[in-house]
Amino acid sequence: MSAPHCTLITAGGVPRVVEQALDDVQLPPVARLMMWHLAKRLDLFEYREVKNASIAAEMRVKETTAGQMLALLVSRGYLDQKNSDRRTRAFRLLWSRRQSKALAA
Protein backbone atom coordinates (compact mmCIF):
# COMPACT_ATOMS: atom_id res chain seq x y z
CA MET A 1 0.00 0.00 0.00
CA SER A 2 1.10 3.49 -0.67
CA ALA A 3 0.94 6.24 1.92
CA PRO A 4 -1.45 9.13 1.27
CA HIS A 5 0.19 12.08 -0.40
CA CYS A 6 -0.26 15.56 1.01
CA THR A 7 0.56 18.66 -1.00
CA LEU A 8 1.08 22.10 0.47
CA ILE A 9 -0.90 25.03 -0.80
CA THR A 10 1.73 27.50 -1.93
CA ALA A 11 1.87 31.05 -3.19
CA GLY A 12 5.00 31.72 -5.21
CA GLY A 13 6.78 28.70 -3.74
CA VAL A 14 6.15 29.69 -0.11
CA PRO A 15 3.63 27.57 1.82
CA ARG A 16 0.49 29.57 2.59
CA VAL A 17 0.79 28.73 6.32
CA VAL A 18 4.24 30.34 6.49
CA GLU A 19 3.01 33.38 4.57
CA GLN A 20 0.10 33.83 7.00
CA ALA A 21 2.30 33.38 10.06
CA LEU A 22 4.62 36.13 8.78
CA ASP A 23 1.58 38.32 8.12
CA ASP A 24 0.52 37.86 11.75
CA VAL A 25 3.89 39.15 12.91
CA GLN A 26 3.72 42.17 10.58
CA LEU A 27 0.29 43.35 11.75
CA PRO A 28 0.36 46.75 13.45
CA PRO A 29 0.21 46.50 17.26
CA VAL A 30 -3.21 48.19 17.29
CA ALA A 31 -4.60 45.52 14.94
CA ARG A 32 -3.25 42.74 17.17
CA LEU A 33 -4.79 44.43 20.20
CA MET A 34 -8.09 44.72 18.35
CA MET A 35 -8.09 40.99 17.55
CA TRP A 36 -7.54 40.30 21.25
CA HIS A 37 -10.57 42.44 22.15
CA LEU A 38 -12.73 41.11 19.31
CA ALA A 39 -12.05 37.49 20.23
CA LYS A 40 -14.15 38.09 23.35
CA ARG A 41 -17.01 39.64 21.36
CA LEU A 42 -17.24 37.64 18.13
CA ASP A 43 -17.75 34.00 17.24
CA LEU A 44 -17.41 31.82 14.14
CA PHE A 45 -21.08 31.41 13.29
CA GLU A 46 -23.18 34.52 13.61
CA TYR A 47 -22.42 38.10 12.69
CA ARG A 48 -22.29 40.46 15.67
CA GLU A 49 -22.47 44.21 15.50
CA VAL A 50 -19.39 46.20 16.46
CA LYS A 51 -19.57 49.94 16.95
CA ASN A 52 -16.42 51.91 16.22
CA ALA A 53 -16.99 54.12 19.26
CA SER A 54 -17.40 51.13 21.57
CA ILE A 55 -14.29 49.23 20.46
CA ALA A 56 -12.26 52.47 20.31
CA ALA A 57 -13.22 53.34 23.90
CA GLU A 58 -12.39 49.81 25.06
CA MET A 59 -8.98 49.96 23.37
CA ARG A 60 -8.40 53.64 24.21
CA VAL A 61 -7.73 54.67 20.60
CA LYS A 62 -9.43 57.13 18.21
CA GLU A 63 -12.58 56.03 16.37
CA THR A 64 -10.88 56.57 13.02
CA THR A 65 -8.02 54.28 14.06
CA ALA A 66 -10.50 51.61 15.15
CA GLY A 67 -12.30 51.87 11.79
CA GLN A 68 -9.02 51.60 9.88
CA MET A 69 -7.93 48.54 11.87
CA LEU A 70 -11.31 46.83 11.29
CA ALA A 71 -10.94 47.47 7.55
CA LEU A 72 -7.36 46.12 7.64
CA LEU A 73 -8.43 42.95 9.47
CA VAL A 74 -11.22 42.37 6.94
CA SER A 75 -8.90 42.93 3.97
CA ARG A 76 -6.26 40.54 5.37
CA GLY A 77 -8.81 37.79 6.05
CA TYR A 78 -8.99 37.85 9.84
CA LEU A 79 -12.64 38.95 9.93
CA ASP A 80 -15.69 38.50 7.73
CA GLN A 81 -17.90 41.57 7.38
CA LYS A 82 -21.61 41.48 6.66
CA ASN A 83 -22.54 44.07 4.06
CA SER A 84 -24.14 46.95 5.88
CA ASP A 85 -24.45 50.62 5.11
CA ARG A 86 -25.16 51.57 8.70
CA ARG A 87 -22.68 53.12 11.08
CA THR A 88 -22.68 49.88 13.07
CA ARG A 89 -21.07 47.06 11.12
CA ALA A 90 -21.41 43.32 11.75
CA PHE A 91 -18.45 40.94 11.79
CA ARG A 92 -17.58 37.35 12.58
CA LEU A 93 -14.34 35.45 12.98
CA LEU A 94 -13.26 33.15 10.16
CA TRP A 95 -12.49 29.42 10.41
CA SER A 96 -9.48 29.80 8.17
CA ARG A 97 -7.62 32.55 6.40
CA ARG A 98 -7.19 30.42 3.27
CA GLN A 99 -7.88 32.65 0.29
CA SER A 100 -8.41 30.03 -2.41
CA LYS A 101 -11.48 27.81 -2.70
CA ALA A 102 -9.31 24.75 -3.46
CA LEU A 103 -9.39 21.97 -0.93
CA ALA A 104 -6.17 20.61 0.52
CA ALA A 105 -5.28 17.22 -0.91
Contact predicate 69/30, CB 8 Å? yes
Q: Indicate the pairing of strand 14-15 with strand 10-11.
A: antiparallel
- The predicted structure's pLDDT at residue 14: 64
Does 22 map to a domain?
Answer: no
What is the number of domains present in the chain? 1
- Domain residues for the domain of 72 are 30-93
Q: Which residues contact 49 (CB under 8 A, 6 or more apart)?
A: 88, 89, 90
Does 23 map to a domain?
Answer: no
Looking up residue 48, the CATH number of its domain turns out to be: 1.10.10
Does 14 map to a domain?
Answer: no
Q: How confident is the model at residue 69 (pLDDT cuts 50, 70, 90)?
A: very high
Four-residue CA torsion sign, 88, 93, 98, 104: negative
- The predicted structure's pLDDT at residue 83: 73
Q: Considering the entire predicted model, what is its pTM? A: 0.70
Instruction: State how far the Cα of 51 lies from the Cα of 78, in Å rounded to an integer.
Output: 18
pLDDT in tens, 2-59: 656 656 566 666 666 666 666 677 889 999 999 999 989 998 899 999 988 999 999 9
